[in-house]
Amino acid sequence: MKDFNSYFESIPELETERLRLTAFTREDMDAYFDILRDPKVQKYLGGGVPVFDKEPHISNWLRNINDRLLKRKIVFTWCIRDKESNRVVGRIDLGGFVKKTAAEISYHLSKDFWGREIATEAVERVTRFGLDELGLARIQGLVRIENQASIRVLEKNGYLREGLLHHYPFGREFHDVVMLAIVR
């Protein structure tokens, strides 16, 4: 196994049967903003992910996720891409590392791709990356209790419900959220 620190030099490219997980590039951003403009995608994201579709915000964000936050070992942010069409499907993150042993997973997908087990496939790959390659002992996911589809995605990947956190800070809001986790 490579050393934990050595994974943070550039966003590692991960592949599944149908998906390619890569670093976001400038070319991906218009498609990504279209995904974020959909209220159905934003509904359970805790006040929403802002659509920062102007310069210098776009360049700053790309520099943050692909360089600054990565080098500081804070988060991996991947663009999820459908191999067959080469379309941008969404985003998945693994971050909030605690003592190189625990981390948190989060994701959102374009509505066009819901219901085809794409999130399940992406979460499966990132979970494997976290546990088997980074050597994490625990990955957790926090999901609003109303977001049953996302709870299913984690459960299908072996994450277990650990409890309900009441009025918990979630994005820019407070919500009742389910804590799910997979441990090694």
Give contact residues for ligand COA (rule: CB under 6 A).
41, 44-45, 106-109, 114-120, 143, 147-150, 152-153
Helix H or strand E segment including 19:
strand 19-22
Closest CB 38 distance from ligand COA, rounded Å:
9
Beta strand pairing status for 75-82 and 88-98?
Answer: antiparallel
Which CB atom, from 70 or from 157, has the smaller least distance to ligand COA? 157
CA 128 – CA 33 distance, rounded (Å): 28
Which CB atom, from 53 or from 155, has the smaller least distance to ligand COA? 155
Provide the residue type at 128 as one letter: R
Closest CB 53 distance from ligand COA, rounded Å:
19
Provide the residue type at 76 as one letter: F
Closest CB 169 distance from ligand COA, rounded Å:
14
Please give the angle made by the CA atoms of 142, 127 and 123, to the nearest 5 degrees.
Answer: 70
Could you write out the DSSP letters of every residue in 100-148? TTEEEEEEEE-GGGTTSSHHHHHHHHHHHIIIIIS--SEEEEEEETT-H
Which CB atom, from 35 or from 136, has the smaller least distance to ligand COA? 35
Report the b/e string of 42-53 with b at 16+ CB within 10 A: bebbbeebeeee
Closest CB 96 distance from ligand COA, rounded Å:
14
Which CB atom, from 69 or from 143, has the smaller least distance to ligand COA? 143
Which CB atom, from 45 or from 62, has the smaller least distance to ligand COA? 45
Closest CB 6 distance from ligand COA, rounded Å:
29
